[in-house]
Amino acid sequence: MLKQSLSQKMLQKLSPQQIQLMKLLQIPTATLDQRIEEELEANPALAEGEARDELAEISSGEEESAATDEQYELDDYLNEYIEDDPASYKLRANNYSAEEEEKTVPVAVENSFHEHLEQQLGLLELEDERKEAIAHQIIGSIDDDGYLRRDPVSIIDDLMFSQNIFATEDEVVDMLKTIQRFEPAGIGARSLQECLLLQLQAKLEMDDEEDFLDFEEREDLELAIRVVKDYFDEFTKKHYSKLQRKLEIEEDELRAAIEEITKLNPKPASGYSSGSSERATQYVVPDFIINNREGELELTLNARNAPDLHVNDQYRDMLRAYKNNQQGKRANKKEREAVMFIKQKIDSAKWFIDAIRQRQDTMYRTMYAIMQYQYDYLLTGDQRKLKPMILKDIADITGLDISTISRVANSKFVQTEFGTKRLKEFFSESMAKEGGEEVSTLEVKDILAGIIENEDKKKPLSDQKLQKALKERGYNIARRTVAKYREQLNIPVARLRKEL
């Protein structure tokens, strides 16, 4: 049996413009200029730089005539647009400083790591093109940390399919050994153990050629090679007493050998650029700047990557010329289509400019609320003055939605006199001390990090002892919570913090 019924539902649907605004809000200042460039390329009605005329801003709430006749609608639009003449939507406001006029982000230009290896290969006198092809394939397979993650069989397959070269495993391994003698030392290693061993052996070979080590230093180096080569597992797990027994050495000797190992670079290619645009050096560009003006905090938005935008003068002039030429005549279909196309592009440009302005207004309101909430901390830099603060706190103050606050806080940075901080660092849950005082969990983590930093590294504190030390300071938390905070601080367990 069929039944009909009426029901009411409340659904929240975002328009395409609102969705685009949300996306703009998530973009950090460092990449905003790229998004603006994309819009400039896609919409010829949008222009960058100072407008030709100094014209007043108009409200983003302009509406066209609701007349049903298309010609009247077009005429109304032309009259409204040309009379108001919105050639310039100034994006700058009083919250930008003169120091922020420079709009370019510096880009590091370096020789890539792979180019460096190719240059060294070019200095070798290889017997034939076959060996050269094998060498190029190996170099191309080395990752941006300097490691060769592919086994010889995979490299043989690559050579066979891409260059029709049938190489043997011995040929690949022999050429790899040659490349492993390139600079920087440790290159082409297939594991961390091999990487460290290659660097230690390179030091020893350099001493054979130049005699720059004294007797004791050479002994330390030879012992370090033994540790890495034969007892790497014990070394990584810091089983120092076991190492002393197996090597039959004193603690001072083992300490000297370990010092040699810790001087090495576990990522030998880290000093070079990758040569890939996707992995280009990233610079942190602060989205906000807070200055301390004689005890008063002053907030400014960084406008470095937000250029002045306005509606293209040529598009405005095209509409004006059309209106002057019409003089009461009815436009034909082609003219109407052309003008409606221009109208669409102008509307899109006006919306984008308004969206950028709304983005900046929302960001400023959010950061201003955060600054006021964490005023004492931003004034002094004292971590203990950082108040517990969640997204809802700022949403309540600003009247903005929690999701909007989250988008602003994500991937954004603020420059303070105590360094450039992620906005996420200001948000934390609260916990009560034994006296009932509410403190930020960030304060607890800071205290925990300080306790670990000052511990006796020969006898590092277990999580249970760390819990006890925190309790003595008034922070009564469970041992598993201590372990969680320690892991969030990227601090290893006590056994791995042990030093000789």
CA-nearest of 169, 172, 117, 109 to 143 is: 117
**pTM of the predicted structure, to 2 decimals:** 0.53
403 contacts 391 by C-beta, under 8 angstroms: no
Range ranked top by mean pLDDT from 299-303, 386-390, 392-396: 392-396
* CA 112/CA 273 separation, integer angstroms: 5
> In this prediction, what percent of the chain has a pLDDT beyond 70?
76
Q: What is the pLDDT of residue 484?
A: 87
193 contacts 171 by C-beta, under 8 angstroms: no
The sign of the dihedral angle between the CA atoms of 216, 222, 223, 225 is positive
Environment class of 443 (CB within 10 Å of its CB; exposed 0-12, middle 13-18, buried 19+): buried
Q: Which residue has the tokens 């792979």?
A: 114
The model's pLDDT over 161-178, given as tens digits with 9 standing for 90+, comes to 888 888 899 999 999 999
Environment class of 257 (CB within 10 Å of its CB; exposed 0-12, middle 13-18, buried 19+): buried
CA–CA distances in Å: residue 59 to residues 50, 62, 63, 320? 19, 6, 10, 20
Range ranked top by mean pLDDT from 218-222, 319-323, 346-350: 218-222
Q: Which residue has the higher pLDDT, 314 or 132?
A: 132
- Confidence bin at 281 (pLDDT 50/70/90): very low
Q: How far apart are the first and last CA of the chain?
A: 83
Torsion of CA 166, 171, 177, 183, to 10 degrees: -40
76 contacts 65 by C-beta, under 8 angstroms: yes
Q: What is the pLDDT of residue 61?
A: 36
* CA 248/CA 250 separation, integer angstroms: 7
Instruction: Give one word for 491, left, alpha or beta, with left for phi > 0 and alpha for psi -120 to 50.
Output: beta
The model's pLDDT over 464-480, given as tens digits with 9 standing for 90+, comes to 889 898 888 888 888 88
| CATH 1.10.10.60 residue window(s) in the chain | 430-497
Q: Which residue has the tokens 């006198």?
A: 125
Region 134-158: mean pLDDT is 90
pLDDT at 33 over 70: yes
Span of 22-26, 91-95, 238-242, 373-377 with lowest mean pLDDT: 91-95
Q: What is the pLDDT of residue 269?
A: 87
pLDDT at 278 over 80: no
Q: Reply yes or no on domain 430-497 having CATH 1.10.10.60.
A: yes
- DSSP run (H or E) holding 420: strand 419-422
Span of 39-53, 209-223, 255-269 with lowest mean pLDDT: 39-53
- Confidence bin at 291 (pLDDT 50/70/90): very high
Q: What is the pLDDT of residue 188?
A: 93
